[in-house]
């Protein structure tokens, strides 16, 4: 089964004609419309999104099969998921956060340091948050060619050469 990625959430009804307020989690918020049919977490419902406008903090949208305000209200809080294989492929040295999260982290000597818990960007460069059994706290590692020389998505491992004083 293809991995599902959360790309948005429904905020509730917008107006009385079955439109919904939609919150997008995508890097480019309007891209939520481009991923085709979206599903709920359990896969019980499949919805097609058509953006109709924008509101503060999101969009207004029309979903297939949702015609009334009551139907739209019933969807409040539901998260929308897209299959991972719908995301476009990326050039070398560019990775989706979802692909990096969960990878095993090894040092250059082959010792396991932990797993990638999240990827963050505070404006400088991307940072990998690494969490491991032997670590007291999580460690933030800059996602650079020198600090992370190897990323192997096939085997699910990252080899890092961290700067002194991080681990």
Chain residues that interact with another protein, rule: CB under 8 A = 5-8, 24-27, 31, 87, 90, 93-98, 100-101, 118-127, 137, 140-146, 148, 151, 161, 163-166
Instruction: Please give the Cα distance from 98 to 93 (Å, whole number).
Output: 15
Residues 6+ apart with CB under 8 A from 93: 145
The CB-of-81 to another protein minimum distance in angstroms stands at 10
The CB-of-60 to another protein minimum distance in angstroms stands at 19
The CB-of-35 to another protein minimum distance in angstroms stands at 8
Whose Cβ is closer to another protein: residue 71's or residue 138's? 138
Instruction: Please give the Cα distance from 85 to 35 (Å, whole number).
Output: 10
Whose Cβ is closer to another protein: residue 15's or residue 102's? 102
Instruction: Please give the Cα distance from 37 to 90 (Å, whole number).
Output: 22
The CB-of-164 to another protein minimum distance in angstroms stands at 4
Whose Cβ is closer to another protein: residue 19's or residue 99's? 99
Q: Which of 22, 18, 20, 28 is nearest to 9 (CA)?
A: 22
Query: Tokens at residue 70, please?
Result: 């009551």
3-state SS class at 32 = helix
Query: Tokens at residue 80, please?
Result: 């929308």
The CB-of-118 to another protein minimum distance in angstroms stands at 6
């Amino acid at each position: 089964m293809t991995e599902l990625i959360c790309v948005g959430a429904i905020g509730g009804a917008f107006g009385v004609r079955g439109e919904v307020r939609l919150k997008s989690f995508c890097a480019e918020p309007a891209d939520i419309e481009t991923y085709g049919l979206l599903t709920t977490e359990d896969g019980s419902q499949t919805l097609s999104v058509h953006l109709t406008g924008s509101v503060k903090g999101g969009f207004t949208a029309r979903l297939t099969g949702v015609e009334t305000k009551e139907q739209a209200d019933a969807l409040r809080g539901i998260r929308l998921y897209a299959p991972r294989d719908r995301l476009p492929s990326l050039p070398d040295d560019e990775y989706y956060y979802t692909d990096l999260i969960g990878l095993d982290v090894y040092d250059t000597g082959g010792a396991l340091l932990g797993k990638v818990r999240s990827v963050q960007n505070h404006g400088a460069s991307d940072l990998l948050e690494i969490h491991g059994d032997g670590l007291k706290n999580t460690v933030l590692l800059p996602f650079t060619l020198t600090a992370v020389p190897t990323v192997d998505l096939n085997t699910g491992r990252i080899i890092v050469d961290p700067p002194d004083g991080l681990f």
